[in-house]
Amino acid sequence: MPKQPVTYVGMLWLLAASVVVMLPFALHLPLWLIPVVLFAAGWRLWVLAGGASQPQTWVKAVLAATGIGGLWLSGLQFPSLEAMSALLLLGFAFKSLEAIQRRDALVVIFSGYFLVALHFLYAQTLLAGGYGVFSLVVLTGALIGTQQSVAEFSTWQQVRFNLRLAGTMLLLCLPLMLVLFVFAPRLAPLWSLPTLSNQAKTGVSDQMTPGDIAQLSQSSELAFRVTFKGERPEQKQLYWRGLVLNHFDGQAWKQFSQTYDPLQINDVVRKEFALHSDQVQQQGTAVAYDVVYEKTGQPWLFTLTPALSLGGADVLQAADYRVMATQPLQAPLLLSAVSYPQSARDLNLVPWLRDLALQLPDSGDTRSRELAQRWRATAANEQAYIDKVLAHFREQQFHYTLRPPLLGEKDTIDAFLFDAQRGFCAHYAGSFVFLMRAAGIPARVVVGYQGGEWNTKGSYLSVHQYDAHAWTEVWQAGKGWVQIDPTAVIAPERVEQGLAAAVQAEGSFLENEHFSLRNVTWLNGVRGQWDALQYGWQRWVLGYDGATQLALLQQLLGEISWWRVGAFVGFLMLAITLGWGLLLGLARRKVHEAREHQLYRLFCSALAKRGTVRATGQTPGDFAQQAANAFPAQAAVIAEFTRVYETLCYAPQVDAGAYRQLQHLLRQLRF
């Protein structure tokens, strides 16, 4: 097979494709990989221009060793997805140094196709999808460009032609892609690599110290979106439960006295802490909804309490009514749930749960302990004591703020209740539970989110990190766990209107996000529409799992069977094939006419209008002589046009200037 070198223009296409494919990885991998790509492609162009020689084997070996050493020094863990991706990108960059022949260029381009797919492991947003399509168009344009031996048009015309052809090819593939997406079985991955993103956790943490949630509430990052299948509950009823914090060590509230990683907690829930159906007495109206959770690197799922029906994902339910995924969320997750918020829970509290809900440190916060014991001794019953504590929050000089003062490292409950009296939800929830336990009343801290922003464009609720919230549950005989939110006593607008309304006076809402679109009122409509598009992408594309596929097939075909699905897919494939046949002109094949032949046909037509007709089989040279005899004044133009045309026909290794020369000579014909 003869060698087919890549042209200079083909190398420009490779450079453009390499940069386009590499660019989004700069957000996730070492930035120095981008200059490496530019250096490798620039060297290749320099070689083609005659300014440098092809790198020798030892030079390429040194470059490869240096690149691998750079990856090692970048702190990437081996093996991991990030390390494997960076290694592939490095090979992608260095391969362009060897891209002399077309087969080398094909290796680079096909590696680029794989890298486009690889990036979706890092980002799966609508923007990432759009950029992926753009990358495919550029790569396909590069595939076309590297197969061209001569430019038939000007550079800009060639770029437009290649991109238009690439876009057309991908559009023709779109129906087949849709059929495969909708009907191909949704299989679990056969293997996986550990990722560093497992360490990058966002959202509500598994422990709470004063000020933690206040810091989280300065972020406008999306946590999850909710679509209600019936009437939407009132804003003040939207308490999205995530975690229950039972253990207090004097500073922080934690799930348990010892620290577990997420997988260990899953084992604890399965073996010792699972929810049993007899713990709940179902009451009230059901709230059915679908939730799409964002990637957080944590397993916590947020639902209305208690969620008695869960579908669409493999989850666990704990005895404290939390819902957890079996793996940390490394991709958006769709969950369908039905909750009964008015149900009674744990009317008979088991001893080990009671012990968890009464735990306090052996010492510390003496003033708060003495206050709780004094009030409990004078209260007629537990409810009277609870009312007295809430009245204390309401009547004293307590303030709700995102700028709480520091409480020190010891006696933080005392410092808040008696000295600072300024805090966020975590301060009020933690101190309230402390006062309950100090009086012998089982209580616990619940963390999650409260409220959300209703999107009128898409009719769904968006819950952001600034909606993070902490509240409490108190166990009462005959009632079970009763939800009490001390923050609602201090700042009722927080649960009725949202965080922005609660801290409007102090101006602390998202004060660190100076360029947030939320601060531009006239853009809120655009932001809502874009968010609705993002949600549609997540729910119907990223959330298209086996359960959704089964529901769609049942809607389309009724009874599901292999022959029904096969026949329907076969019909669609036949329709696609016929459509391709019509679009590609297989019934009436249109032969592509080269640019030089198009111009020569116009040349002959112009002469024919003046009475000089080219005979069938007459050579261009003979016809030029005939035309020159008929039009002596145009003899030089006719001869030059014919010479350039014959050069393009029999010696095609010329640049695009020859085509422009033909066009110029054609315009010079004057009769």
- Is residue 425 part of the annotated active site? The answer reads yes
DSSP per-residue letters across 357-385: TT---SS--HHHHHHHHHHHHHSSSHHHH
What is the C-alpha R_g of the chain?
Answer: 35
CA distance 634 to 624: 11
CA dist 475 and 481 (Å) reads 4
* Residue type (1 letter), 220: S
- Joined together, the tokens standing for residue 257 give 């006295």
What is the end-to-end Cα distance of the chain in Å, rounded? Answer: 50
Sequence letter at residue 296: T
Of 346, 414, 485, 531, catalytic: 485
The C-alpha atoms of residue 349 and residue 357 are separated, in whole angstroms, by 10
Residue 281's DSSP bridge partners are 344
* 651: phi then psi, degrees, rounded to nearest 5: -140, 75
User: For the chain, what percentages of helix, strand and coil (3-state, to nearest 5) are there?
Assistant: 55, 15, 35
Give catalytic status of residue 469 as yes or no: yes
Dihedral of the CA atoms 423, 429, 434, 439 (nearest 10)? 120
Residue 175: in which H helix or E strand, if any?
A: helix 155-183
Instruction: Name the catalytic one among 104, 206, 425, 427.
Output: 425
- The single residue of 464, 467, 469, 531 carrying the catalytic annotation is 469
- Picking from 604, 609, 596, 613, the residue whose alpha carbon sits closest to that of residue 663 is 596
Q: How many angstroms separate the Cα of 571 from the Cα of each of 174, 564, 576, 584, 638? A: 16, 11, 9, 20, 57
Amino acid at 551: A
Q: Are strands 422-423 and 399-400 parallel, antiparallel or unpaired?
A: parallel
Active centre residues (catalytic): 425, 469, 485
